[in-house]
Amino acid sequence: MAHKRRMTAKRRRFYDSSIFVILSIVSVFAILVLVAVAAFLLINSIPAFTQVNQWGFFTGTVWDPTNPIEPLYGMVPLLVSTLIVTFVSALIAIPIGLGATIYLAEIAHPKIRKVMKPAVEVLAGIPSVVLGFFALTVFAKFMWEAFAPAWRPSDYLNLFNGAVFLAIMMVPIMVSLSEDAVNSVPRSLKEASMALGMTRWETVWKVIIPAARPGIVAAVMLSIGRAVGETMVVVMATGSSPQLTFDPFSSGQPITSTIAIEMGEVAANTPHYYVLFELGLVLFAITFALNYVADWAMRRHTERYQ
Amino acid sequence: MSESIFVKDLNVWFDKNHALKDVNITIPKNEITAIIGPSGCGKSTFIRCINRMNDLVTKCKVTGEVKVDGQDIYDKDVDVVEVRKNIGMVFQKPNPFPKSIFENIAYAPRIHGKDEDKSLRGTKVSKYSKKELSDLVERSLRRAALWGEVKDRMEKSAYELSGGQQQRLCIARALAVDPQVILFDEPCSALDPIATAKIEDLLVDLKKDYTVVIVTHNMQQAARVADKTAFFYLGELIEFSETKKIFESPGEKLTEQYITGRMG
Ligand SMILES: Nc1ncnc2c1ncn2[C@@H]1O[C@H](COP(=O)(O)OP(=O)(O)OP(=O)(O)O)[C@@H](O)[C@H]1O
Ligand SMILES: [Mg+2]
């Protein structure tokens, strides 16, 4: 009996340590992949640092890499397109996302919530190519004709068109994450507020949302990160013309589209090729910064109640 | 001695679970009434009926009559906000808001406003001035015997306080909306004996101005502070009388078994 128990203890130790080893390998692997991607981007963009005028890259307002006389690699139009698309999509997605979050977490009947939460999460899984296709065929036409002849977008395919569908992708992510944040606000805080004679709304605005704010901020940042990095929708919906424009209703070409479209056609080891990697590096830096902010906000949130 | 809370034929269900059965009780003004009984017997459910906190539980159904100062708080015309302003509650675990000490107290009065006229609720007319608000905060903290310990750090997070201080902050927070009745649901169960003694002293002091109802698992605590004690068992009010009588010569066998710790 004693012998047997010793055996099981030994076996348990073996399981414990092998699980530990497996998990360590997996997580080290995940980090290695991240480092490898970053290194790959960096190594491939290093030639661009010397072969392409860096001042021109960061400040140039013309992106014309295939110009036979003098190729121009100004990333400003691409960056502006990315910023417009991201900004407009955030403008659409944030109010809707927050409204839906509050509805789900605080207003909806528990039965409705039980159905809605998974439904929203499924929405997050719609392949972006499907949304892009919808933007291209249905929504672009709708926008073109809805207010005609009084008003039409400057271009048939335009940045706004892409932003709308990016917003459709952002909302489920935002709702799913920020609903978790709102739900993790201790029930006791809500009861404390209600017991003081606060209405439900006052409680939501003055207690629950402030307490969940870091988690909500993190959710918003992560979904914005998603918009910055999203490619398929913007390739299909925004018209792919790398002009410098500040008009959301004209076509443009965000950074992601540019890489996706031109990478397939460019000859390897040319300046153009290397510059596309450098664009990737810029994108990586933007999303990395966003994720970092989100992570920081999230950590502050969890520390608060411990 | 006048009555403060009058309860008649109170029944509560959570779905099919009949949590309170035909409770009839009259709780006197300016006294401390203790509610005792084994876990799950409906003590919390009972006091949560007095400020209608059970409204928040969707599957909860309440029937019967609960009158506070002569008014039926379950009447259709009654504003539940007014009910809860009039009846403060302090919970088992201290639950300050994640705000500063000052904001914890100022939060409710600032929104309610100082005017009794509730048609003015939320409008500028009834707002406290800055001075009035800070006076109110100070007064509430003094009343809760916490002022001396926090007056130099009003802007600090309430989470920096000890558990006992947090609980007194929650009491001050409840006092700031000027209630008639304060309900305590095991307010000391998360506290050490010294913090508990401070709260008990405070309770005794508070009964001069307020009607106090306290749920407790601690028999000595009930014996120490309560004027009257009610014993609940399986959702029924078994016995309610002077604390001294409950502990020295209980009228019911069940009460005696519970008091002496011989309950199976
Ligand atoms: N929110 C709720 N949902 C469903 N059932 C509940 C709820 N709150 C209480 N009950 C049920 O009502 C009964 C009484 O519970 P209550 O919390 O009032 O007991 P209690 O006397 O306060 O116990 P304790 O001393 O452990 O706090 C229990 O059977 C409990 O399961
Ligand atoms: Mg209880």
**Residue nearest ligand 1's atom 12 by CA:** B19
The rounded distance, in Å, linking the Cα atoms of A225 and B180 is: 52
Q: H/E element holding B172? A: helix B163-175
The yes-or-no verdict on residue A299 having pLDDT over 80 is: no
Cα of A197 vs centre of ligand 2, distance in Å, is: 21
**For residue range B195-206, what is the model confidence (pLDDT) as tens digits?**
899 899 999 999
- CB of B58 closer than 6 angstroms to any ligand 1 atom: no
Q: Whole-angstrom Cα distance, residue B173 to residue B99?
A: 12
Distance CA B81, CA A140 (A): 50
Are A192 and B173 in contact (CB < 8 Å)?
Answer: yes
Q: Would you say residue B177 has pLDDT above 70? A: yes
Q: B177 contacts in A (CB within 8 Å)?
A: 196-197
What is the C-alpha to C-alpha distance for residues A213 and A215, in angstroms, rounded to an integer? Answer: 5
Q: Report CA(A137)–ligand 1 centroid distance (Å).
A: 57
**pTM of the predicted structure, to 2 decimals:** 0.81
Q: What is the pLDDT of residue A9?
A: 78
Q: Nearest CA to CA, how far is B99 from chain A (Å)? A: 9
Angle between helices A209-229 and A271-304 (to 10 degrees): 170
* Structural tokens at position B121: 């609720």
ipTM of the complex: 0.89
- Predicted confidence at residue B207, as pLDDT, reads 93
CB B103 within 8 A of CB B97: yes
The 10s digit of each residue's pLDDT in A78-90 is 999 999 999 999 9
Residue B204 tokens, joined = 């005794």
- Contact between A244 and A82 (Cβ < 8 Å): no
Contacts B84 to A, Cβ<8 Å: 194-197
pLDDT for position A4: 59
Mean pLDDT, residues B160-174: 94
Segment B228-233 shows an average pLDDT of: 96
* Peptide bond just before A149 cis, omega within 30 deg: yes
Quote the pLDDT of residue B124: 44
Q: Which ranges constitute the DSSP H helices of chain A? A: 2-51, 54-59, 76-102, 110-123, 128-134, 140-146, 159-183, 187-195, 200-203, 209-229, 232-237, 255-263, 271-304
All domains of chain B, ordered by start, with CATH?
3-259 (3.40.50.300)
Kindly determine whether residue A206 and residue B88, on different chains, have CB atoms separated by under 8 Å.
no
Q: In this predicted model, what pLDDT tens digit does every residue of A231-263 receive, in sequence order? A: 999 999 999 999 999 999 999 999 999 999 999
Q: Where does the pLDDT of residue A304 fall: very low under 50, low under 70, confident under 90, or very high at 90 and above?
A: low
pLDDT band per the 50, 70, 90 thresholds, residue A301: low
Give the chain B residue whose CA is nearest to the CA of A210: B98
Q: Which residues of B touch A109 (CB under 8 A)?
A: 58
Cβ B13 under 6 angstroms from ligand 1? no
Q: What is the pLDDT of residue B66?
A: 95
* Mean model confidence pLDDT for chain A: 90
- Summarize the confidence of residues A189-214 as an average pLDDT: 92
Nearest CA to ligand 1 atom 10: B14
Per-residue pLDDT band at B117 (split at 50, 70, 90) = low
Instruction: Give me the mean pLDDT over the A19-34 stretch.
Output: 91
Q: What is the mean pLDDT of residues B232-258?
A: 93
Residues, CB within 5 angstroms of ligand 2 (ion) = B 44
Which of B81, B118, B160 to mutate against chain A (most A CBs within 10 Å)? B81
Segment (H or E) for B237: strand B236-242
**Ligand 1 close to Cβ of residue B54 (< 6 A):** no
| Contact check, Cβ <8 Å, B91/A192 | yes
Ligand 1 site, residue B19, Cβ cutoff 6 A = yes
Tell which residue, B231, B230, B172, has the closest CA to residue B206: B172
Strand, helix or coil for residue B208? coil
Alpha-carbon span A179 to B115, nearest angstrom:
36
Please, are residues A243 and A269 in contact by the beta-carbon 8 Å criterion?
no
**Would you say residue B116 has pLDDT above 60?**
no
**Contact of B28 with B4, CB cutoff 8 Å:** yes
Distant-in-sequence, close-in-space partners of A110: CB < 8 Å, separation ≥ 6 = B58
pLDDT interval class at B263 (50, 70, 90) = confident
Residue nearest to atom 24 of ligand 1 (CA): B39
For A91-147, how does the pLDDT look when each residue is reduced to its tens digit (9 = 90+)? 999 999 999 999 998 888 888 999 998 999 888 889 999 999 999 999 999 999 999
| DSSP states of B54-86 | GGGSTTEEEEEEEEETTEETTSTT--HHHHHHH
